[in-house]
Amino acid sequence: MFSPLTPMDWKRRAVKYYPHKVAVIDEEKEFTYKEFGQRSDQLSKALYSSGIEKGDHIAVMLPNTHYMLECFYGICQMGAVMVPLNYRLAAEDLEYIIKHSDSKMLIVDEEFTAPIEKIITRLSLEKIIIVPAEGHETTLPGIDYENFILHAIDEELPEVTIDENQLLTINYTSGTTSKPKGVMLTHRGNYMNAANFIYHLGVKHDDVYLHTLPMFHANGWGGVWSVTATGGTHVCLRKVDPPLILKLFAQHNITLLCGAPTVVNMLVNDPKAKETNIKVRPRMATAGAPPAAALIQKAQEILGLNMIHVYGLTETSPFILYNEWKDEFEAKSADEQAIIKARQGIELVFNGETMVVNQDGKAVAWDGKELGEIITRGNVVMEGYYKDPEKTAEAIRGGWFHTGDLAVTYPDGYIEIQDRAKDLIISGGENISSTEVEGVLYKHPDVLEAAVIAIPDDKWGETPKAIIVLHPNAEVTENEIITFCRSKMAHFKAPTKVEFVESLPKTATGKLQKYRLREIHWKGSKKVN
């Protein structure tokens, strides 16, 4: 009586037991689970009638709307593979991903069609489905989403047998290289990660979940599946707007949300934060750049949020650590509690094994001092990088996925990241490769040498700064460098600050010493080393 582990089964359960309950709230629109199920099924039928079959890949570039939720279920329940796209990427990156992923079709929000218009002649998509967006118009040739699903075949879909080890999504991440990598995530991996989400974040049928976290980002960390699994209510959020989020807290009695530390920071610093009448105490999971203890404390004191620190990567579906809160911590001061909550924590119940190892591959001492790399294995690790066996072999060695993140382990087993390997910059929860930014800088005719580092930022946690050595007699301003970068890459990747220097620190062999550049901005911080 084997039953494959797949999040698709949770939609069936939700429609069965909560048919008349509100499943999705998207601005003025509401859908019950029965209606949401019907719309997802209509999408499946429309895709099938368009020739999409099990195993085909479909790219989707949508904000957090009911359409995006419908795509996760409508595409994946028919055995096709969804390729969620980051709508903040530059046209060149999107072109690479759509081509590399072998996507046959694109479903795109009208607001984000501009970069697709630039590259459409270089794409070989069979069909483009456009979701209308108020106040936006596009010249992109495509079919209206509602018309597409409205005229779907009026018959039962052929039964699709789901193998739990088959691909559910391919999620692209730039990681620490210039070319995005396609992370292959399976039905089983998503199911197990969502089980962790449900268990450790305490998701129940009466939860009202606000989608502040982009659904394209590791499938909303599993939130797109977990809320449906328990029969909770999804509240959509097209873009992060602190005043609107605070309004929704009160309007819908939000009980749960997720977001990067930058979102937490935006909320606590909004002028209306102290005035918001929150009847319930929302639980908020945060991850990305390690959150400062002071920020966690502010979130709990100002907004009454119950902060839950988690850690993971797209390659691990994403959760592999969770900061479990113990009763004994309640006796500690608010400062001490915040410091503990800033740690990444311990293994989750369903993900498998995670540990910190030294250069010899042995577990570091549980002393909070010995530095090592976080590695993991088990149920949530990716199948590999799509069409990239070399990068896969680099990341998965000896049966363990190597995160590249450096950390220590405390006597209680709690893991805490001390630094990011390979100079990865995490700004607002988005990964930025310093080498990619440097590559763009070197294209500028006046740049002789360049180094990009992370610097602290109150809003985004950290942002890129460029330290540049110019050619002799060259004259260029900070704004000109920033504008140049923004013209050639996604704006969030471009430097926010530029410093011109006479030389860059290097070793005797000519290797750049970025830690010496970071010392100025991160003095006294673990980010330096």
HEC sequence for 186-232: EHHHHHHHHHHHHHHCCCCCCCEEECCCCCCCHHHHHHHHHHHHHCC
According to the model, what pLDDT value does residue 289 have? 61
**C-alpha to C-alpha distance for 228 and 133, rounded to whole angstroms:** 25
CB neighbours (10 Å) of residue 1?
2
Over residues 221-246, the mean pLDDT reads: 97
Could you tell me which of 489, 410, 423, 419 has the C-alpha nearest to residue 451? 423
User: What is residue 336's three-state secondary structure?
Assistant: helix
The strand pair at 57-61 and 81-84 is best described as: parallel
- Choose the weakest-confidence range: 259-263, 305-309, 465-469: 259-263
Q: Are 72 and 82 in contact (CB under 8 A)?
A: yes
Over residues 72-94, the mean pLDDT reads: 95
Q: Token match 């498998």: residue? A: 352
Q: Are 391 and 183 in contact (CB under 8 A)?
A: no
pLDDT digit string, tens, across residues 353-387 = 999 999 999 999 999 989 899 999 999 999 999 99
Over residues 76-85, the mean pLDDT reads: 98
Over residues 68-75, the mean pLDDT reads: 98
Architecture in CATH of 433-521:
2-Layer Sandwich (3.30)
**C-alpha to C-alpha distance for 492 and 336, rounded to whole angstroms:** 34
Phi, psi angle pair for 360, to nearest 5°? -90, 0
Could you tell me which of 68, 315, 67 has the C-alpha nearest to residue 173? 315
Q: Are 75 and 47 in contact (CB under 8 A)?
A: yes
For residue 81, list its beta bridge partners: 57
Q: What is the dihedral of CA 379, 381, 383, 386, to 10 degrees?
A: 150
pLDDT digit string, tens, across residues 494-526 = 999 999 999 988 744 345 778 788 888 887 665
According to the model, what pLDDT value does residue 154 have? 79
Q: Give the torsion sign (CA, 47, 49, 53, 56).
A: negative
What's the length of the chain? 529
Over residues 184-199, the mean pLDDT reads: 98
H or E, element range at 13: helix 8-17
Which amino acid is present at 242? P
pLDDT digit string, tens, across residues 399-441 = 999 998 888 999 999 998 876 666 778 888 887 877 778 888 9
**C-alpha to C-alpha distance for 358 and 375, rounded to whole angstroms:** 10
**C-alpha to C-alpha distance for 93 and 97, rounded to whole angstroms:** 6
User: What is residue 102's three-state secondary structure?
Assistant: coil
- Choose the weakest-confidence range: 206-215, 320-329, 435-444: 435-444
Rg of the chain (C-alpha set) = 23
- Choose the weakest-confidence range: 108-112, 373-377, 388-392, 444-448: 444-448
Could you tell me which residue, 346 or 522, shows the higher pLDDT? 346
Inform me whether the pLDDT recorded for 294 exceeds 90. no
According to the model, what pLDDT value does residue 177 have? 42
According to the model, what pLDDT value does residue 175 have? 43
Over residues 31-42, the mean pLDDT reads: 97
Percent of the chain's residues with pLDDT above 70 = 95
Q: Is 523 left (phi over 0), alpha (psi -120 to 50) or beta?
A: beta
According to the model, what pLDDT value does residue 508 have? 41
The strand pair at 400-409 and 372-377 is best described as: antiparallel
**C-alpha to C-alpha distance for 170 and 168, rounded to whole angstroms:** 7
The strand pair at 208-210 and 233-235 is best described as: parallel
Could you tell me which of 233, 196, 255, 210 has the C-alpha nearest to residue 7? 196
Over residues 294-308, the mean pLDDT reads: 87
Provide the mean pLDDT of the chain.
Answer: 91
CB neighbours (10 Å) of residue 504?
17
**C-alpha to C-alpha distance for 12 and 168, rounded to whole angstroms:** 17
- Choose the weakest-confidence range: 20-29, 308-317, 334-343, 491-500: 334-343
